[in-house]
Chain A
Amino acid sequence: MINEHDLAALNGTCPEHYEPFQDRAGAFYETFERKPENQEQTHYCPGCGHGITHKMVARAIDELGIQDRTILCTPVGCSVFGYYYFDVGNIQAAHGRASAVAVGAKRARPDSVVLCYQGDGDLAAIGTAEIVHAANRGEPITVFFLNNAIYGMTGGQMAPTTLIGMKSTTTPNGRDPWNEGYPLHICELFAQLDAPVYLERVALGNSKQLIGAARAIKKGIENQVKGLGFSLIEILSPCPTIWKMNPVDAQHWVRDELTKVFPPGVYRDRTKDAPVRPAPKPKPALADLPKMLVGKGGVAPVEPAGTAPAAVHDLSIRIAGFGGQGVLMLGQVLAEAGLSADMRVSWLPSYGPEMRSGTSNCHVRISHKEIASPVVTKPNVLLALNEPSLRKFLATVEPGGWVLYNGTSLPEGMERDDVHFVIKPFTELADQVGDARAGNIVMLGTLLEATGMLSGESIDAALKRLVKTERWLELDRKALAKGRETFHLEPVSA
C-alpha cells in the first residue's frame, strides 16, 4: 500500500513540487480516525468524566459566542484526542506541557481565547513546573484540570492525586505515604500564589455537582473573555474503567470519597476586583525597525574617523589584567577605533571561569586584510596590566613586538631582548589625572605614541561611542594625553 509519493521518499527522491502534509481539517466526530472497528462511538468509556466535561466546555463556548476565537490546547492522556470533539482551533501538546504551549499561543494571539485541558498526571506530576509558573505569572488562560486520582490512558498507574491506600498498578499494595507521599492539592497550593484570579474545585458526583461544575467552567472561560488573568477549575472526575466500577458506583465514589480528600469549593475569586490586563502596546512601523536596532547600550554605529597608518598592516593584540582594570574596555576601544579607520577588526574576550577569579584578558585583531583567526596566540602587542598577565603571555609575543607593562620595573625572569618593552606605572599615572581606573587609557595613550598604530581621531571617535558619561569622557581624554606625554618623558628600554 505504498503510494508513489512514499516510494519516492524511500528512494531518496521526491517530487519537484513539495506538497505540505495533508491538511487535517474537519477533525471532528464524523471523521474520527480511531481503530476502524470503533468508528461509531467516542473513545471515552461509559461514565467517563471527560465526556461530561467536554459537553460543559462546548456549551460554554457556544453560550459565550467564542467558537471562532477559541484555541484548545490538549494534553497527553485520555483527552489527547480532545480535538476530535471541539470544532475550534486545536493545538495538541507534549505530556505536561499544555500550559506552556497555551502561554505561547495566548501571547502570540492575545485576542484568542486559549483553553488548556489537562489531566492529573499531566498537570500535577510531569507538568507541575509549567502550570505553577503559568499561574504565578497570571497568564490569562483558562485551565481545566481533570482529577480522577489515577492514570487512565496508560492503564491505571498512580497519579499525584491518588488517595492514600488506593491501589494502582504501580502501588499494588495501596499508596503508602512513606514511599509515595500524599495526594497533591492543586487548588490549595495555588491559593498561595498572588496572581491567579479564579480557582475553584468542582465534582461530577451528582446532578447538583454537575450544575455547579458547568457554572464554574463557564465562569473560568468568561474571565478570559473579559480580559482577566489566570483561571483554573479542578474537576473531580470518575474513571469507572480503571477504578473497576460501574458508572453509577464511580459517580458515587467521586461524591463520597474523592471529595473528602479534595473538598470542592472556591479557593480564589477575584473576578470582581481583578485588574483588567493592559492592552499590548502598538507595534512600531516595520520601516522604523532597522534604526531602532542600533546600539543597545547607547553605542552608536561606527562612523569613519581618522585613517590607519599604512605601516600598520596586521595587529594581533593580547590585553590582560585584573577584573576592573578595564581590560575588555581597552580592547573594545582599539577595535572600534580600527573600525573607524576602515580596517578589519575582531574582539574576543576570555569569558571562562578565570573571569570569576578576578583576571581577564581579550584578543584584538586589527588588519588591512580579512581576518582569518580572531584567536591571538602569538601577539605582536601585549598589554599587561598586572604581573601575572606578563608572566602568562610574555613568552608568546612575536619577536619585534611591543610589550607594555603596568609597573616600575620588569619582574625577575621576564627579560627578553627581542621585543620592545615600555614599563610605566600606568595605574599611578591615572590616579594623577583623577581616577586610577583610567590606567587602561593611559596605557593606550602610551601605546599610540610609541607605535603610531591608530590616529587620534579614530581613538576619540571610539571613546565617544563607548564612554557613557561626560565626566568619564573628559577623564579618559586626560588619561590619553598623560599616556602620550609619559612615553616621551623617559626612553624606551629595548
Chain B
Amino acid sequence: MAKQLIKGNEAIVKAAVLAGCRAYYGYPITPASEIAEAAAHYLPLAGGTFLQAESEVAAINMIYGAAGAGLRAMTASSGPGISLMQEGLSFLAGAELPCVIADIMRAGPGLGNIGPEQGDYFQVVKGGGHGNYRALVLAPDSVQEMADLTALAFELADKYRNPVYVLADGYIGQMMEPVEFANQAIEPPPPDWAVLGTAESRKNLISSIFIEPESQEHHVRHMMTKYHRAEREDVRFESVQTEDADIVLVGYGIIARILKSVVEMARERGVKAGLLRPITLYPFPTRAIRALCGHAATFGVVEMSTGQMVEDVRLAVEGRCPVEFYGRSGGVVPTAEEILAFVLEIAKPAWPASILEEVAIHD
C-alpha cells in the first residue's frame, strides 16, 4: 500500500480495522476526537460497529460487552476520559478480556488544557483502577508507530487476555507523517472462551467475581504469571547510540523524538549522549536500563510531566548511578535547546576542557 500522509489519530483507526477491530465505542475529547471521527467513518465500512456512547463510563463497558462476545474492540480518549474508564479497566482485567485503549494525553490535573502532556503515566502504566492487575502499555513516537503499535496492541491483548493501552500525547495524535499500512486485513475468529449466543459457547462465563478469598487469590496469582511472562517476552525499546554513552537519556513519545535531536547536538559538543526509548512502558525495559549502568555515568530522564516514568528508571537503576530529571508540563513542550542545556549540566564532570571554556565565556 502506498504511503499516506495522515494524522496519528487517524492511523490508529486504520491499523485497528486492518487488525480486525470491529467494535469502537467512545466519547469525544480533544485531542483524541479524530480517533472517534475516523472510527465513525471506517468501522461501519468494515462491517463493524461505531457508537458514540453517552459517557466514557458507558463506552468502556460496551467494550466489555463486545470483548466478552469475542470481538476485537477498542476505545480512545484523553486524560479525563481515561480517568472515567478506570473502573471498567479493572473489570476488563479481572474478567481477562482483551481490548485496546488509546490515550492521547493532554495537560492536567482537572480540566487542565488540551496541550500535549505525559501526565497520565501513573494512571495508565501503574494501574488507575482498583485491585491487583496491570495493563500493557505501548508508547508510539511516530505516526507509523501509531499504526504498527495499534496492530501489535490487538495481538498482545489476545495473547494475554488483558487490556492494552496505546499511550501517546497530543502532538503524536495531531501530527501528520507518512505511514504505510499492512497490505492485508485480518479478522481472527472469536476465541473459544467468548460468549457468542451459540450452542458451542453456551457454557462460557465472563466474570471477575471470586467470592472465596482463596479463589480470588488464585486468580490474581494466575494474572501475575501473565504479567511475568510479558516481562520476559514482550519488552520493547529502542536504543540510540547508547553503546558508548556517558549520559543515557530516557524518554518516550514525542519527547523521544526531541531527544534524538538532542543526542546529535550533545555529541557535536563532545558529550557522549545516547537515548533509550521505552516502547513498552509496561512491561518496562528494566533490564536494558540496568545493563547500561555499567558504563553510563548518569541517566537523564525527560518527560512532559513533573516526574512519573522517572520512578521506573530509578527502580531499574537501583542507585547504581545518578538519575537526573527534566520535565515540562501544562502543555509546554520542551525545546531541544533547553534539554541540551540540561544534558550539558548533568554531564559537567565529564565535559571536555574545550566545552568548559565555551561555557565560561557564555557565563
Q: Give me the interface of A with B, judged by CB distance under 8 Å.
A: 1, 5-6, 8-10, 12-15, 18, 20-21, 23-27, 33-35, 67-71, 73, 80, 83, 87-94, 97, 100-109, 111-114, 129-130, 132-133, 280-284, 286-287, 289-296, 299, 301-303, 332, 335-336, 339, 344-349, 351-353, 371-375, 377-378
What residues of chain B lie closer than 8 Å to A26, measured between beta carbons?
A: 203
Say whether, besides A345-B5, A347-B5, A94 and B91 are in contact (CB < 8 Å): yes
Q: Which residue of A lies closest to B208 (CB)?
A: A92
- The answer to the question of B260 belonging to the interface, with a C-beta cut-off of 8 Å to chain A, is yes
Cβ 8 A contact of A111, one of B6, B30, B197 = B197
CB distance from A339 to the nearest CB of B (A): 5
Q: Say yes or no: A303 contacts B171, CB within 8 Å.
A: no
Complex partner residue of A302 from B18, B178, B205, CB under 8 angstroms: B178
Chain B residues contacting A375 (CB-CB under 8 Å) are: 171, 254, 257-258, 333, 335-336
9 A-B contacts, Cβ less than 8 Å apart? A5-B225, A26-B203, A89-B198, A130-B54, A292-B45, A339-B178, A346-B176, A351-B170, A374-B177
B140 an interface residue at 8 Å Cβ cutoff? no
- Residues 1-21 of chain B: 1 if any A CB is under 8 Å from the residue's CB, otherwise 0? 111111000100010011000
Do A12 and B62 touch across chains, with their CB atoms under 8 A apart? no
CB contacts (< 8 Å) of B115 on chain A: these are: 352-353
Interface residues of B in 67-96 (CB under 8 A from A): 67-71, 73, 87-88, 91, 95-96
Residue B297 at the A interface, CB < 8 A?
no
Alpha-carbon distance A89/B200, docked complex (angstroms): 10
How many residues from B make CB contacts under 8 Å with A? 104
Any A CB within 8 A of the CB of B175? yes
Q: Which residues of A contact B224 (CB under 8 A)?
A: 9-10
Given A296-B42, A348-B171, check contact A287 B229 (CB 8 Å): no
Given the contacts A80-B209, A281-B47, A352 and B91 also touching, CB distance less than 8 Å: no
A371–B2 alpha-carbon span in the complex (Å): 20
Residue picked from A34, A73, A332, most chain B C-beta under 10 Å: A73
Query: Could you tell me the distance between the alpha carbons of A345 and B221 in the complex, rounded to whole angstroms?
Result: 47
**B124 — which chain A residues lie within 8 A by C-beta?**
none
* Min C-beta distance of A149 to chain B, whole Å: 25
| B47 in contact with A89 (CB, 8 Å) | no
Q: A108-B49, A129-B57, A352-B331 are in contact. Are A373 and B258 (CB under 8 A)?
A: yes
Say yes or no: A104-B64 contact (C-beta < 8 A), given A9-B225, A89-B204, A296-B10: yes
| A residues near B170, Cβ cutoff 8 Å | 351
A287: chain B residues at CB < 8 Å are 184-185
Minimum CB distance partner of B69 in chain A: A108
B114 within 8 A of A: yes
| B207 located at the interface, meaning its Cβ lies under 8 Å from any Cβ of chain A in the complex | yes
Contact A70 B51 (CB under 8 A): no
State whether B257 touches A373 (Cβ < 8 A).
yes
How many cross-chain pairs have Cβ atoms below 8 Å apart between A and B? 298
Task: Please indicate the chain A residues that have their CB under 8 angstroms from the CB of B205 in the complex.
Answer: 24-25, 27, 83, 89-92
Indicate if B311 sits at the interface (CB-CB under 8 A): no
How far is B174's CA from A465's CA once the two chains are assembled, in angstroms? 20
B307 contact set on A, CB distance < 8 A? none
CA gap between A107 and B229 in the complex, in Å: 33
- The CA-CA distance from A133 to B51 in the complex, in Å, is 12
Shortest Cβ-Cβ A-B pairs, 8 listed = A112-B197, A104-B65, A283-B47, A301-B2, A100-B61, A372-B260, A108-B69, A289-B185
Report if B353 contacts A (CB, 8 A). Answer: no
From the candidates A113, A348, A377, name the one contacting B337 in the complex (CB within 8 A). Answer: A377
Whether A68 lies near B199 (C-beta < 8 A) is yes
Flag if A374 contacts B257 (CB, 8 Å). yes
- A70: chain B residues within 8 A (beta carbon): 197
Q: Are A5 and B222 in contact (CB under 8 A)?
A: yes
| A12→B221 CA distance, assembly (Å) | 10
B198 touches A69 (CB 8 A): yes
B248 to chain A, nearest CB (A): 17
Given A93-B91, A112-B69: 19 more A-B contacts, CB < 8 Å: A9-B225, A13-B228, A68-B202, A91-B195, A92-B95, A100-B57, A104-B62, A105-B197, A108-B73, A112-B198, A114-B197, A133-B54, A280-B47, A293-B14, A296-B10, A296-B41, A372-B257, A373-B260, A375-B171
